[in-house]
Structure 1
Amino acid sequence: MFSFAPVAVQPPSAAAAPSAKHMLEMASEALRARRLAEVAEVRLAIEWAVVNGHPRDDRDSMITPGGDGTPPLREHAVPELAMVRETHPATTRALIADGLDLVHRLPLTWAVVEAGACEPWVARKVAVLTRSLLSEHVGRVDRAVAKAIRGHAPSTVLEIARAKVIEADPETHRAERERSRHERYVRLSRADEFGYRHVIARVTAGDAAWIDAMVDRVAEILGETMGHDHNHDELRSLAMGWLARPVDLLKLLLEHTRADSDAETGQTEQPAWAPDHMAETVDRLCSLPARKLARLRGRGRLFVHLTDDALRTGRGVARIEGVGPIDVRQLHEVLGNSDVTLTPVLDLAQRRRVDAYEHSDVVKDHVWVQTGGDCFPYSPRTATRDGVDYDHAIPYSDTGPPGQTGPHNSGPLRRRHHRTKTHGEFTTRVVGPGRHLWRTPHGRAFLVDHSGTTQLPAAQAAAMLAAIDDGVELYFTAPVAY
Structure 2
Amino acid sequence: MFEEDLDALPTADLLESAAELRASAYRAEARLLQHALSYADRYHPSAHPGRRAGRRTCDGRERAVVLGGDGCPEILEFAIAEFGVMLGISPHVAADYLGQALALRHRFPFLWARVLSGEATPWKACRIVADCKKLSEEAAARVDKPVAGLVDSITPARLDRIIKAARMHVDLDQARAEAAEKARERGVFVGQSNEHGTKTMVIKAAAGAVARNDATLAAIADALKIFGDTRRVQTRRAEAVGIIADPRFTEELLTQARTYRLTNPDPDSTDTPDSVAPNNPASGRAASVQAPADDTPAGRARVAQDPGTRSAGSWVDDDLLDGLLHDPATGWDEPAWDDEAEVPDPLDTAGRDPVEPFDLRDPHLHIDPDCEPMDAAAERVLNARLAQIKHDAYANQSHPHTTGAGGSGGSGGVRVRPGQTEVYVHLTDLTLDTGTGVLRAETLGPMLAEQLTELVGYGPYTVKPVIDLNDAVSVDAYEIPDRIRERVKLIHPVEVFPFGTQETRRSMDLDHLRPYDPLGPPGQTSTTNLAPLGRYPHRVKTHAPGWDVRRIDHKTLQWTTPHGFRFHVDPTGTHRMPTPGQAPAEPH
Moved more, 349-358 or 134-143: 349-358
Alpha-carbon distance change, 184 to 100 in structure 1, aligned in 2, over 3 angstroms: farther
CA shift, 1:165, in A, is: 0.4
Q: 169, 175, 178: which one pairs with 1:173?
A: 175
User: Which residue does the alignment assign to 2:160?
Assistant: 158
SS state of the match for residue 454, structure 1? strand
The answer to whether residue 534 in structure 2 is matched with residue 414 in structure 1 is yes
Alpha-carbon distance change, 362 to 72 in structure 1, aligned in 2, over 3 angstroms: same
User: Which residue does the alignment assign to 1:335?
Assistant: 456
CA shift, 1:372, in A, is: 3.0
**Contact kept? 1:189, 1:199, Cα under 8 Å:** yes
Question: Can you list the C-alpha shifts for 1:388-427, whole angstroms capped at 9, x where unaligned?
Answer: 1110111112222222221222111122221121122322
Structure 2 distance, partners of 1:413, 1:79, is: 13
Structure 2 distance, partners of 1:422, 1:299, is: 37
In the TM superposition, 1:270-309 aligns within 5 A as 287-289=393-395, 295-309=416-430
SS state of the match for residue 387, structure 1? coil
User: Which residue does the alignment assign to 1:39?
Assistant: 30
Moved more, 209-218 or 426-435: 209-218
The answer to whether residue 512 in structure 2 is matched with residue 429 in structure 1 is no
Moved more, 292-301 or 339-348: 292-301
**Contact kept? 1:247, 1:285, Cα under 8 Å:** no
CA shift, 1:238, in A, is: 3.0
Structure 2 distance, partners of 1:400, 1:81, is: 35
1:167 partner letter: H
Structure 2 distance, partners of 1:128, 1:231, is: 42
1:57 partner letter: R
Question: Can you list the C-alpha shifts for 1:26-82, whole angstroms capped at 9, x where unaligned?
Answer: 232222112111111222112211111115423531111111000111111111111
Alpha-carbon distance change, 455 to 344 in structure 1, aligned in 2, over 3 angstroms: same
**Contact kept? 2:493, 2:503, Cα under 8 Å:** no
SS state of the match for residue 365, structure 1? helix
**Contact kept? 2:249, 2:393, Cα under 8 Å:** no
Alpha-carbon distance change, 252 to 158 in structure 1, aligned in 2, over 3 angstroms: same
Structure 1 distance, partners of 2:234, 2:393, is: 32
Structure 2 distance, partners of 1:222, 1:71, is: 61
Larger RCO (CA within 8 A; separation ≥ 6): 2
**Contact kept? 1:322, 1:384, Cα under 8 Å:** no
Q: CA RMSD in A?
A: 3.5
User: Which residue does the alignment assign to 1:238?
Assistant: 239
In the TM superposition, 1:65-464 aligns within 5 A as 65-203=67-205, 207-208=209-210, 211-212=213-214, 215=217, 218-219=220-221, 226=228, 230-250=231-251, 287-289=393-395, 295-380=416-501, 382-425=502-545, 426-459=547-580
1:441 partner letter: P
Structure 2 distance, partners of 1:209, 1:43, is: 52
Q: 51, 60, 71: which one pairs with 1:57?
A: 51
Structure 1 distance, partners of 2:295, 2:116, is: 70
**Contact kept? 2:66, 2:74, Cα under 8 Å:** yes
**Contact kept? 1:393, 1:427, Cα under 8 Å:** no
Structure 2 distance, partners of 1:130, 1:207, is: 34
Question: Can you list the C-alpha shifts for 1:163-209, whole angstroms capped at 9, x where unaligned?
Answer: 01011111111112223333444343444442222223444566556
Moved more, 364-373 or 416-425: 364-373
Alpha-carbon distance change, 118 to 480 in structure 1, aligned in 2, over 3 angstroms: closer
**Contact kept? 2:244, 2:250, Cα under 8 Å:** yes
Structure 1 distance, partners of 2:98, 2:205, is: 32
Structure 2 distance, partners of 1:27, 1:304, is: 46
2:241 partner letter: M
SS state of the match for residue 385, structure 1? coil
5+ long unaligned stretches in structure 2: 53-60, 262-271, 275-293, 300-388, 397-401, 403-413
**Contact kept? 1:137, 1:169, Cα under 8 Å:** yes
User: Which residue does the alignment assign to 1:472?
Assistant: none
**Contact kept? 1:190, 1:324, Cα under 8 Å:** no
**Contact kept? 2:558, 2:569, Cα under 8 Å:** yes
SS state of the match for residue 557, structure 2? strand
Normalising by the residue count of structure 2, what TM-score does the alignment of the two structures yield? 0.66
Structure with the higher fraction of residues in helix conformation: 1
Structure 1 distance, partners of 2:465, 2:118, is: 60
**Contact kept? 2:509, 2:538, Cα under 8 Å:** yes
Alpha-carbon distance change, 354 to 242 in structure 1, aligned in 2, over 3 angstroms: closer
1:49 partner letter: A
Question: Can you list the C-alpha shifts for 1:357-400, whole angstroms capped at 9, x where unaligned?
Answer: 112222222322223321111113x5133131110111112222
**Contact kept? 2:187, 2:205, Cα under 8 Å:** yes
Alpha-carbon distance change, 319 to 298 in structure 1, aligned in 2, over 3 angstroms: same
**Contact kept? 2:252, 2:390, Cα under 8 Å:** no
Structure 2 distance, partners of 1:205, 1:357, is: 51
CA shift, 1:115, in A, is: 2.1
Question: Can you list the C-alpha shifts for 1:193-246, whole angstroms capped at 9, x where unaligned?
Answer: 42222223444566556555654565466566657x534443443343343243
1:307 partner letter: T
Moved more, 188-197 or 246-255: 246-255
User: Which residue does the alignment assign to 1:264?
Assistant: none
Question: Can you list the C-alpha shifts for 1:240-264, whole angstroms capped at 9, x where unaligned?
Answer: 334324334445656569689xxxx
Structure 2 distance, partners of 1:146, 1:392, is: 50
